[in-house]
C-alpha cells in the first residue's frame, strides 16, 4: 500500500486533478489518505440566454454545414444556458462559509450573466472575439473572468469548476488550466 499525504494548502488542486482524470476511485482504493481537512465544495447556479453560430471562416460553407450542422446557421441560434460555479476550500472559522453565496452570485452576475445575457456570443461579447463560440471555449473564458475576481470575495476558497449547460443534456465542465489532460 502506498501512503499519500495531501497537504492542506495543496488539497484543492490535487483532488481537482485526481477527479478530472477519472482516477478518484482508483486512488481511494490504492492509497491510504493520512491527512485530510474539511474540504467543502460550494456551488451556485445562474442562468442566461445567448445566441451563437459555430462557423470556421477558413472552411467552405459546405464543410461548416457538414461539421457543425444546424449550429452553423448563418442567422445564428440561441440557448438557455445554465452556469454552475463551484468553489472549494475550508470553511472560515468565523462565518462557517467557504464563500458567501450572495457574493458569489453577485460576482457571477456582474462578470458573466450581465455580460452574456441576451447577447450574440460571436458579435457582442468582447472576450469571445476571434474565438470559436463553442460552449467549451465559453466555459474557459468564464473561468478566466471569475478566477481573477474570486479573491475579492473569499480568502478561504478557490475556483474548482465551471459547469456550463447549453441544453439540459449537453454541458461542459472545466477545472482550470492546471488540470488539462494529455
Q: Which of 23, 114, 118, 136 is catalytic?
A: 118
Tell me if residue 141 is catalytic.
Answer: no
* Per-residue pLDDT reduced to its tens digit, 43-92: 999 999 999 999 999 999 999 999 999 999 999 999 999 999 999 999 99
Q: Is 0.85 topped by the overall pTM?
A: no
Q: Could you tell me whether strands 40-52 and 77-89 are parallel, antiparallel, or unpaired per DSSP bridges? A: antiparallel
- Separation between Cα atoms, residue 30 and residue 158, nearest integer Å: 27
Q: Which of 12, 20, 141, 166 is catalytic?
A: 166
Domains and CATH numbers, the chain: 1-37 (no CATH), 39-179 (3.30.479.10)
Sheet with 171-174, side-by-side order of all strands? 119-120, 40-52, 77-89, 157-165, 171-174
| 166 catalytically annotated | yes
Of residues 27, 71, 79, 173, which has the active-site annotation?
71
pLDDT tens digit string along 163-172?
999 999 999 9
Amino acid at each position: 500500500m502506498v501512503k499519500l499525504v495531501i497537504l492542506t494548502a495543496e488539497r484543492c488542486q490535487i483532488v481537482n486533478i485526481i477527479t478530472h482524470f477519472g482516477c478518484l476511485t482508483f486512488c481511494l482504493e490504492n492509497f491510504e489518505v493520512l491527512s485530510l481537512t474539511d474540504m467543502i465544495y460550494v456551488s451556485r447556479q445562474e442562468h442566461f440566454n445567448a445566441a451563437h453560430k459555430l462557423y470556421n471562416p477558413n472552411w467552405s460553407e459546405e464543410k461548416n454545414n457538414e461539421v457543425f450542422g444546424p449550429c452553423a446557421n448563418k442567422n445564428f441560434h440561441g440557448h438557455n444556458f445554465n452556469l454552475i460555479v463551484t468553489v472549494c476550500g475550508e470553511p472560515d472559522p468565523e462565518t462557517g462559509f467557504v464563500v458567501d453565496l450572495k457574493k458569489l452570485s453577485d460576482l457571477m452576475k456582474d462578470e458573466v450573466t450581465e455580460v452574456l445575457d441576451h447577447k450574440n456570443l460571436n458579435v457582442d461579447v468582447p472576450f469571445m472575439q476571434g474565438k470559436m463560440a463553442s460552449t467549451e471555449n465559453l466555459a474557459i473564458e468564464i473561468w478566466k473572468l471569475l478566477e481573477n475576481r474570486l479573491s475579492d470575495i473569499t480568502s478561504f476558497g478557490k475556483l474548482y469548476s465551471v459547469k456550463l449547460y447549453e441544453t439540459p443534456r449537453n454541458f461542459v465542465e472545466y477545472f482550470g488550466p492546471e488540470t488539462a489532460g494529455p
